[in-house]
Amino acid sequence: MTGWLAVVTALGMTAAVAGCTGPATAQEVTLRLVAAEYGDSPANSSKKYWDDLVEKYEADHPKVRVKVSVYSWNQVDRKVKDMVAAGKAPDMAQIGAYADYAARDQLYEAGQLLSIPVQADFLPQLSDAGKVSRIAYGLPFAASTRVLFYNKKLFADAGITSAPKTWSDLAADAAKLKADGVKTPYALPLGPEEAQAETMQWLLSGGAGYTDEVGSYQLDSEKNVKTLTWLKDNLVGKGLTGPTAPAKLNRAAAFAAFTRGEVGMLNGHPTLMKAAAKRNVEYGMVPMPGRGGEARANLGVADWMMAFKRNGHREEIGDFLDYVYSPKNVLAFSREYDLLPVTTAASQTMSTTKSDSALTPFLDELPQTELPPVGKTSWAEVSAAVKERIGRAVSPNGNPEAVLQGLQQLAEAAENAEQ
């Protein structure tokens, strides 16, 4: 949040401007939204979700039309980037990153769009992650956390009676699974698809992370070096991470292997529950272990909604987004796609509703989550470098300290380039 005074001031100023130069409400306004695809079939396509929401909104707003284009996650960020570069920015985009657009002054501030109750309802850690230079531009749209999934049958067959609570437990359990013939005792996806997430989860459980308390990069901290060294020596080096080298293993492949009953343990998010259940894999979920007990923090991930200033329509965009973030719509989206709600009201409802109990382990982790430094415009470059290099750090001939030092140098250079 930008603070009550800042929000009220921003709203007051923009209201004054709107009073002088606001859009002509006598004629129809068309808003264009580009959104990401969360479904895995036509039956649960995001287009179906948005079509239903827009139909209901337009019924009460006859002067506003909302046109939604939905693209896969492999396309949507690039699509928006190309539209902006061509001078044809959409009014709104629901994608994976916002900081570059905010840094170029292309986005409305959250306080210029949303009513105070809606803006205040965002979960604090998600709202804070949506800020650039302490001003909120990215509106959290969907969230998830990570927990440790384990295959109950494989554990029982290997004589393991409880889930791991420490790194030592995890390594010992992985060794028992390997001895019992499990193909991949612990899946460590450090391939290019989402290595930055798996890496951050381990760095957090080792007591550090990508940044320090004041937001400066600390990739090569002593704790981070120790974390990757432990992974290299105690899991990868002992053959406990399966036949595919971590640097070549992507998350999707690791998840698929878990649903085939080939993986003993891995970090997973809520969508893995449904995929595993479809294949009749009996699984358990526990918080990710830390070095000597509970991890310092857990990984949180968010996708973002943003509004571009190019076409104007500030009032219409704000009114539509207030509707998008109403409790019923936040809950409907979260339930449809097994994601966590981004607002306090919806989270409280879900945490007390029996039909949502499967998500309880993830909801319990949400208050302790830490998100990647998505508010840094340098993060896109740093994240790409982590995806490319981090797998080498834990390879048989890898050097965790050297890899992390190289990433730190890149991060500092990218950070300096922002200024």
Q: Give DSSP secondary structure letters for 61-122.
A: -TTEEEEEEEE-TTTHHHHHHHHHHTT---SEEEES--HHHHHTT-B--GGGTS-HHHHHHB
Q: Which of 369, 306, 378 is nearest to 92 (CA)?
A: 306
User: Does the CA dihedral 364-139-94-15 come out positive or negative?
Assistant: positive
Give the Cα separation of 190 and 192 in Å (integer).
Answer: 7
pLDDT-based confidence at residue 296 (cuts at 50, 70, 90): confident
Distance CA 144, CA 301 (A): 5
What per-residue confidence (pLDDT) applies to 26? 54
CATH label, 4-144+301-370, candidates 3.40.190.10, 3.30.70.1230, 3.30.710.10, 3.40.50.2300: 3.40.190.10
All CATH 3.40.190.10 domain ranges in the chain, comma separated: 4-144+301-370, 145-299+375-418
- What's the rounded Cα separation, in Å, for the pair 171 and 338? 30
236-280 pLDDT, tens digit per residue, is 999 999 999 999 999 989 999 999 999 999 999 888 998 899 999
Please give the residue that has the higher pLDDT: either 19 or 409: 409
Q: Residue 98 above 80 pLDDT? A: yes
From CA 372, how far away is CA 218, in angstroms rounded?
A: 12
What confidence score (pLDDT) does residue 368 get? 77
Question: For residue range 46-70, what is the model confidence (pLDDT) as tens digits?
Answer: 999 999 999 999 999 999 999 999 9
pLDDT greater than 60 at residue 23: no
Domain 145-299+375-418 fold? D-Maltodextrin-Binding Protein; domain 2 (3.40.190)
Are β-strands 184-186 and 131-132 bridged in parallel, bridged antiparallel, or unpaired?
Answer: unpaired
Place of tokens 């704790």: 223
DSSP 15: H
In 140-296, where does DSSP find H-type helix?
Answer: 152-157, 167-179, 195-205, 222-230, 251-259, 271-278
pLDDT per position as a tens digit, 7-20: 333 333 333 334 33
**Among residues 88, 127, 32, which one has the least CA distance to residue 320?**
32
Average predicted confidence (pLDDT) for the chain: 90
- Residue 239 and residue 184: Cα distance in Å, rounded? 9
What is the helix (H) or strand (E) element at residue 135, kind and residue range? Answer: strand 135-136
Report in angstroms the alpha-carbon separations of 249 from 187, 384, 389, 401.
8, 16, 13, 22
Over pLDDT 70: what percentage of the chain?
93
